[in-house]
């Protein structure tokens, strides 16, 4: 498998330019931490990479159902039941429904519950399960741990670890560096509308810096 | 497992496993945890564990038996020699620290002797 590449991604909201030609290449098998301050454009970039926003300029090497995306907000009507959400994924992707049902059970979320009846954290877990059980080459996760309790956080971490070997690429946009730092193989930082070059996480540590220190030095 | 944030994770895990091999917790010829299991237990990327096992293989401490998994080397003499080298290294570190702190050779030796006596006394009792 080749690297996942995107080049010169530019995006503006009206007059406000958010991304000024962002380029990146993520190697197969990598787990990339996409870091950046609030308003740096992480969600904007992931919306574009994850097919949710087509109003941009630039090039992306993998599109369509090669990419699974967990957005911060589920884009489905809140009167839908959880199983309808999974049906939806099943219609458009190669989707492991068996695994999805099993994960729902472990998270104690009923497939017949309406989205409106779920807590924020449970909705996040449904979004994660939808993304995780999709058979794609690239997984994009936007703040996957927000509002989740300690049990579900651990569950998500274990699931991501279980799949980190192999060719698939996972990109995690997050502020929770501590929770993920040992999972990242690479780090890149979005700042001022541009993306820093990809940096090997162990290389950062070998230079005597923690991921957090590296990020603090680069983010401002 | 807790890791220092500013040291490579793979070297920290490798050190931990080395100690377990030398202490006999992972005995001569014993099977080591599977890559995925160790990754979940340590909450690290399995690619890091792959690197740890690669490093220990290069050092000759472990070997891969096809798809059966990773095993501690069955060569007890070799392990014994590696253990001595390892402890020698730690002792050398103490020696350097003592010298940097301005101790004489005799004083450092006395310190080491009293520490050894303290640890081994418990066993002899």
Q: How many CB pairs under 8 A join A and B?
A: 56
Sequence ranges of the domains in chain B: 9-74, 77-124
> Which of these, B28, B87, B44, B69, lies nearest to A161 by C-alpha position?
B44
ipTM confidence score: 0.83
Write down the pLDDT at residue B125: 57
Q: In whole angstroms, what is the distance from residue A13 CA to residue A41 CA?
A: 11
pLDDT digits (tens, 9 = 90+) for B46-97: 999 999 999 999 999 999 988 888 999 888 889 899 999 999 999 999 999 9
| CA R_g for chain B | 18
Give the pLDDT band (50/70/90) at residue A54.
Answer: confident
Of chain B, the percentage scoring pLDDT greater than 70 comes to: 97
Contact (CB, 8 A) for A202 and A50? no
Kindly report, residue by residue over B55-69, the tens digit of the pLDDT. Answer: 999 999 999 988 888
Provide the CATH number for the domain around residue A160.
3.40.50.300
**Residue A130 domain boundaries:** 4-219
What's the CA gap between A208 and A187, in Å, rounded? 16
HSE-up of B53 (CA within 13 Å, CB side)? Answer: 20
What's the CA gap between A2 and A25, in Å, rounded? 10
**Mean pLDDT, chain A, integer:** 89
**Phi, psi angles (nearest 5°) of residue A169:** -115, 130
pLDDT tens digits, one per residue of A100-111: 999 999 999 999
Identify residues of A whose CB sits under 8 angstroms from chain B CBs. Answer: 29, 31, 157-158, 161-162, 164-165, 181-185, 202, 205-206, 208-213
Helix axes A150-163 and A120-132, enclosed angle (nearest 10): 10
Question: How many domains is chain A partitioned into structurally?
Answer: 1
CA dist A95 and A135 (Å) reads 6
Calpha distance A36→A220 (Å, rounded)? 9
B3 vs A contacts (CB less than 8 Å): 182
What percent of chain A is predicted at pLDDT more than 70?
99
Is CATH 1.10.10.10 what the domain over B9-74 is classified as, yes or no? yes
Report CB contact under 8 Å: B9, A212.
Answer: no
Taking only the tens place, the pLDDT of each residue in A109-137 is 999 999 999 999 999 999 999 999 999 99
Q: How far apart are CA A153 and CA A175, in angstroms?
A: 14
């Amino acid at each position: 498998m080749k690297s996942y590449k995107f080049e010169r991604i530019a995006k503006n909201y009206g007059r406000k330019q958010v991304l000024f030609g962002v380029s990146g290449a993520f190697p197969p098998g990598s787990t990339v931490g996409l870091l950046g301050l609030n308003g740096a454009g992480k969600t904007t970039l992931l919306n574009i990479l994850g097919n949710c926003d087509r109003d941009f300029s630039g090039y992306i090497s993998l599109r369509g159902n090669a990419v699974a995306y967990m957005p911060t907000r589920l884009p489905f009507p809140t009167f839908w039941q959880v199983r309808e959400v999974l049906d939806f994924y099943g219609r458009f992707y190669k989707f492991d429904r068996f695994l999805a049902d099993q994960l729902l059970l472990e998270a104690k979320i009923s497939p017949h519950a309406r989205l409106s009846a779920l807590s924020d954290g449970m909705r996040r877990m449904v979004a994660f399960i939808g993304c995780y059980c999709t058979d794609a080459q690239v997984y994009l996760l936007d703040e996957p741990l927000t509002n989740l309790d300690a049990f579900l956080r651990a569950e998500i971490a274990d699931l991501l670890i279980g799949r980190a070997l192999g060719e698939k690429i996972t990109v995690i946009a997050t502020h929770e560096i501590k929770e993920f730092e040992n999972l990242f193989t690479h780090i890149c930082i979005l700042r001022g509308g541009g993306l820093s070059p990809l940096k090997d996480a162990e290389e950062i540590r070998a230079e005597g810096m923690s991921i957090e220190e590296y990020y603090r030095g680069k983010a401002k | 497992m807790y890791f220092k944030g500013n040291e490579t994770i793979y070297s920290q895990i490798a050190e931990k496993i080395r100690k377990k091999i030398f202490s006999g917790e992972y005995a001569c010829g014993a099977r080591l945890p599977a890559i995925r299991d160790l990754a979940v237990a340590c909450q690290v990327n399995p690619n890091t564990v792959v690197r740890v096992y690669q490093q220990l293989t290069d050092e000759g401490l472990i070997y891969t038996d096809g798809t059966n998994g990773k095993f501690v080397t069955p060569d007890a003499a070799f392990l014994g020699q590696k253990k001595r080298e390892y402890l020698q290294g730690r002792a050398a570190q103490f020696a350097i620290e003592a010298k940097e702190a301005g101790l004489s050779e005799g004083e450092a030796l006395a310190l080491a002797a009293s520490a050894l006596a303290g640890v081994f006394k418990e066993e002899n009792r």
